[in-house]
Each structure stands twice: as structure tokens, then as C-alpha cells.
Amino acid sequence: MKKVLFISYLPAPGSIFVNETFRTAFGMYGEDIEPVVLLMEDSVVALGEKYSPESLGLLPIKTVHRYIDRYGTKVLAVKEDVESRKVKIGPEWNVDLISKSNLADFIHDFDLVIFM
């Protein structure tokens, strides 16, 4: 099974990038690919308790959580980005934080890395 890392780094509010990152990752299960999602820079705001992409006509965050639970999708975020943006991670997220200093080694563990 190939391991693919999807990295979202663009602003979450008012854009489709975080949403499309998750939609694309969930579509990989039918292709015998193990997706992992990494949120960094401005995309970490999607982890906030009050984030609601459904108000923009995007995939509801509750649906994202349901798919993450169903498929066991691993979700990570860059610790320094979460802290600098003062994001209070919602209780429904089972997210692992990774330090920027470990990011390069972490990324090299994947067969393919896609920036979105």
C-alpha cells in the first residue's frame, strides 16, 4: 500500500483548500492508498472549534469527522502554526501535532507528497 501525504497550507476561511484536501484524501481509499493529511500555516484554523465550512457550501466538518473515524485517516498539524494562530483545537479532532523541526524527516517517509 502506498503512503501519500496531503499537505494543506492555504487559508481555511473562505476557501476550498482544506475541504478539498480531505475530499481528495478520502477518495484514495478506493485506490489502495493510505492517505495522511497534514495541516500547516493558515490551514490549521480548520481545527478550531467554531470552523464551519458548511456555511460556505462546502463539505460539512461533521462529515469530515465521520470519514476520519470510519477510515482511520491520520490528521496532523504543525505545532508552531497552531500556537502562533492561537487555534483552540476542537474536541472532535483526533489530531497529532508535529514540530517544524521534525517536518523534513516526516515528509520523507511518504511515497508521494501533494501540496494543496
Architecture (CATH level 2) of domain 2-115: 3-Layer(aba) Sandwich (3.40)
For the entire predicted model, the pTM comes to: 0.87
Average pLDDT, the chain: 87
Write out pLDDT tens, residues 9-50.
987 665 677 888 888 999 898 888 999 999 999 888 888 877
> What pLDDT sits at residue 109?
93
CA 30 distance to own-chain centroid: 19
CA 76 distance to own-chain centroid: 6
> What pLDDT sits at residue 98?
97
Provide the Cα torsion 86, 77, 58, 1; round to 10°. Answer: -170
Which grid coordinates are listed for 111? 511515497
Q: Where are the domains of the chain?
A: 2-115
> What pLDDT sits at residue 14?
56
Helix axes 17-27, 61-71, angle to 10 degrees: 30
Residue 98 β-bridge partners: 78
Q: Is the pLDDT of residue 5 over 60?
A: yes
Q: What is the mean pLDDT of residues 72-77?
A: 94
